[in-house]
Structure 1
Amino acid sequence: MKKMYLVLVGFILVILAFSIHQYKNPKVQESITYFPIDPKVTFKTAQTTLTVMNKPANTIVWKEHSTLDQKAYLRQDAALLYANGRLIDELWNWKQNTAIIDQEKRITLGESVLLQAITFHHAELHENDNQIFSSQAMSSAQLYFITSQAVEANMKKQLDEQTERMLQLNWNKALRHFSINLSNYQAFPLSQFNELAKDTLPGFTKSETGTIVGNLWEGLYKNYILGIKKADGTIENPKGSTLPLILIANDKTHLLVLTETSSAEPILLRQMMGEDD
């Protein structure tokens, strides 16, 4: 099994192997774990939506839904919602012996924002001979929520530029902080990475892409969604962190994930891309 490590550089370099940290939720007993993909099992539906409600005003309904073509030993969905490039909320849930996961949340906004919702849909499948497999899918949604009377096209352009400027500034700061040579990698924001990975990532087969995506989301779930461990050992809520940048090494040995916490601490996740153990 591939492993991802959380690398935090301050005065001390800390490397953590994957361990499940149940951030502020002791009831959680399961998490996303990657197993080889079963090509015979598929998701009939995998959907994320963002809808503006008239009443109450300034309210967004965020939904995600997925249905597997059969019941699974364990179903899990993890969803992230970003506003202008920073995480504002999460949805994650798991159920046993079911094919369906539905999640919904209503969010009230006070200003114009670019919303990006990203969802990873996962199933853990136990076969009769004690073999364990996975099935997975991804979905996303984007919405320009505009409260002002400005021309919509102008406001969309402004939100795009504002978000891109903030993300580029923070990603570049993290690249310098960790002394990463960008020319050695293909770089994709998580939103773009997930769209590409629905088919195949550049330079990889569909099977290789599935393995990379499954291991990546296992690590994101355990070391990002459930809480980010900082250099001082404390766990920080991921809310307010920047949209992760995924860096795929040109030599295909590893990938990196860069983000910044709400307290402005650069974070680096590292995932090896060798053969499964």
Structure 2
Amino acid sequence: MKRISQLSMLIILFVLLYFLLPFSKEPPARESMIFFPLDPNVTFTKAHTRLVLEPKKKNNEYVLRWHTTSSLDRKVYLRQDISLIFADGRLLGTLSKWKENSQTLLQEKTVTEKNSRLFQAISFHYGEIHDGEDIRSSQKMSGDYLYVIDSAYSPLMSFRQAKTTEQKKWENVLKQTTRQFLDYKTKQLANHFSIREKNYYYLYLPELMVYNEQPFPDLSMEKTQKIIGSLWEGLYKNYFLGIKKKNGTIVSPIGSTMPVIFISKDYTYLIVLFETRDGEQIQLIQQIS
């Protein structure tokens, strides 16, 4: 009787642990995100990324809430959203979620940091639409940025647009520091891979969001969106999910530099450059059809 009683208690304990302990119901990240011709009849009614600073510190660190949401105007075969957040020009974290036969996606994550920083987030919202054998897609980008000031000489604060003299000073310092760091890395990468900058349009990944609503120079909006969709397909596979180094190993992108995108002025190909956390220089080349 004693053995039976102990066995029963173990079974009850296992059941309680199974139902009470937190576990993820979300599927793992998909291994591919494929660009299909865009469906002009399917549109995003919502595409939003937001960074919000919690007002109080925890254990001498501050907490940043990172939130993304998007919704299409109908349910589609597949919905997928990915998001990246950078701090002072380096990748700090990623978000990814996908659902079949869905319309809306919502994600939220907290980031714990210290010291004054410029945070920049960009998200790619994607829908795969099946109509019989015809497969099309819908896409949109969203983003946000936030200056967080964590100084011994002033209260914890955050802002997007500087209003006070102190905020303007911090904005200038953080913006210049980040830009100088990225420009320095870009110059190193361009020299290493023998890229002549005058032959390209180039921009940093968060700056791509401008082209939600406007085309690249001397290019149609349709062609611009095709380039953007194919670019994100490549970034997802070769940056977001992991970076393949020269020795064949796959490493996390966390800590790598913000990708810089070089688009040839004849729009025949583009190049993505970045540096891994341990300093290996990476070049991705994508043909534009």
TM-score in same-fold range (> 0.5): yes
Q: Does structure 2 conserve the Cα–Cα contact (< 8 Å) formed by 1:31 and 1:76?
A: no
Which residue of the partner structure matches residue 281 of structure 2? 266
**Are 1:138 and 2:141 an aligned pair?**
yes
Which residue of the partner structure matches residue 189 of structure 1? 204
Pick the structure with greater CA Rg.
2
Which residue of the partner structure matches residue 48 of structure 1? 49
Which residue of the partner structure matches residue 112 of structure 1? 116
Q: What amino acid is aligned across from residue 239 of structure 2 in structure 1?
A: Y
Bigger relative contact order (CA 8 A; separation at least 6):
1
Which residue of the partner structure matches residue 36 of structure 1? 37
Q: Does structure 2 conserve the Cα–Cα contact (< 8 Å) formed by 1:197 and 1:209?
A: no
Distance in structure 2 (CA, Å) of the matches to 1:142 and 1:256: 25
Q: Deviations over 1:228-249 (max 9, x none)?
A: 0000111111011111111110
Distance in structure 1 (CA, Å) of the matches to 2:202 and 2:131: 37
Normalised to the residue count of structure 2, the TM-score between the two structures is 0.83
Structure 1 residues not aligned, in runs of 5+: 1-25
Q: Does structure 1 conserve the Cα–Cα contact (< 8 Å) formed by 2:189 and 2:281?
A: yes
Which residue of the partner structure matches residue 8 of structure 1? none
My pick for the range that moved more, 47-56 or 80-89, is 47-56
Q: What amino acid is aligned across from residue 236 of structure 2 in structure 1?
A: Y
Q: What amino acid is aligned across from residue 47 of structure 2 in structure 1?
A: A
RMSD: 1.5
2:270 corresponds to which of 242, 246, 255: 255
1:162 corresponds to which of 144, 154, 177: 177
Which residue of the partner structure matches residue 102 of structure 1? 106
Q: Kindly indicate which of the two structures has a greater share of residues assigned to helix.
A: 2
Which residue of the partner structure matches residue 61 of structure 1? 65
Q: CA deviation at 1:252?
A: 1.2
Q: What amino acid is aligned across from residue 87 of structure 2 in structure 1?
A: A
Which residue of the partner structure matches residue 9 of structure 1? none
Q: CA deviation at 1:197?
A: 4.0
Q: Deviations over 1:104-137 (max 9, x none)?
A: 0011111110000000000000013x10000000
SS of 2:174's equivalent?
A: helix
Distance in structure 1 (CA, Å) of the matches to 2:110 and 2:30: 26
Which residue of the partner structure matches residue 23 of structure 2? none
Which residue of the partner structure matches residue 260 of structure 2? 245
Which residue of the partner structure matches residue 75 of structure 1? 79
SS of 1:172's equivalent?
A: helix
**Are 1:121 and 2:125 an aligned pair?**
yes
Distance in structure 1 (CA, Å) of the matches to 2:256 and 2:269: 23
Q: What amino acid is aligned across from residue 278 of structure 2 in structure 1?
A: S
Normalised to the residue count of structure 1, the TM-score between the two structures is 0.87
Distance in structure 2 (CA, Å) of the matches to 1:198 and 1:92: 24
Q: CA deviation at 1:198?
A: 3.5
Q: Does structure 1 conserve the Cα–Cα contact (< 8 Å) formed by 2:239 and 2:253?
A: yes
Q: Give the percent of matched residue pairs that are identical in Structure 1 and Structure 2.
A: 42
SS of 1:193's equivalent?
A: helix
SS of 2:228's equivalent?
A: helix
Distance in structure 2 (CA, Å) of the matches to 1:173 and 1:55: 39
Q: What amino acid is aligned across from residue 182 of structure 2 in structure 1?
A: L
My pick for the range that moved more, 34-43 or 203-212, is 203-212
Q: CA deviation at 1:29?
A: 4.1
Q: Does structure 1 conserve the Cα–Cα contact (< 8 Å) formed by 2:29 and 2:96?
A: no
Q: CA deviation at 1:153?
A: 1.6
1:180 corresponds to which of 180, 185, 195: 195
Distance in structure 2 (CA, Å) of the matches to 1:198 and 1:123: 18
Q: What amino acid is aligned across from residue 134 of structure 2 in structure 1?
A: Q
Which residue of the partner structure matches residue 18 of structure 1? none
2:213 corresponds to which of 198, 206, 212: 198
Distance in structure 2 (CA, Å) of the matches to 1:48 and 1:32: 20
SS of 1:180's equivalent?
A: coil
Distance in structure 1 (CA, Å) of the matches to 2:50 and 2:188: 32
Q: CA deviation at 1:31?
A: 2.8
Q: Does structure 2 conserve the Cα–Cα contact (< 8 Å) formed by 1:47 and 1:139?
A: yes
SS of 2:194's equivalent?
A: coil
